[in-house]
């Protein structure tokens, strides 16, 4: 086997190891930071969800505790 074949084999093995992540026991990949616009959308959706939950709970308690205050559906 010539030195050229040996060096090509070593390079190929190194590239395969790097692509598979072998040899990096402590390295973890993290997600890229969230852009500010997406963070604002996420906050708005969370506020809307919490507002809907609070509104649903208030309507449920109102219908249970004071019958006849809310109009009947149907």
The pLDDT tens digits for 13-40 are 888 887 776 666 666 678 788 787 888 8
Q: Is the dihedral of CA 13, 19, 21, 27 positive or negative?
A: positive
Q: Which three-class secondary structure state does DSSP give residue 35?
A: coil
- Digit-coded pLDDT (tens) for 42-73: 999 999 999 999 999 999 999 888 888 878 87
Residue 27 lies in a domain: no
CA atoms lying within 13 Å on the CB side of residue 22: 7
Show the domain range for 48: 35-66
**Is-contact 70 63, C-beta < 8 A?**
yes
Residue 61 lies in a domain: yes
Domain total in the chain: 1
Residue 9 lies in a domain: no
Helices marked H in the chain: 3-20, 36-65
User: What pTM does this model have?
Assistant: 0.50
Residue 24 lies in a domain: no
Residue 29 lies in a domain: no
């Amino acid at each position: 086997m010539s030195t050229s074949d040996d060096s090509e084999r070593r390079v190929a093995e190194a590239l395969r190891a790097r692509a598979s992540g072998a040899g990096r026991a402590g390295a973890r990949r993290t997600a890229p930071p969230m852009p500010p616009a997406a963070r604002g959308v996420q906050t708005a959706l969370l506020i809307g969800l919490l507002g809907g939950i609070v509104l649903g709970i208030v309507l449920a308690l109102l219908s249970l505790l004071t019958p006849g205050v809310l109009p009947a559906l149907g």
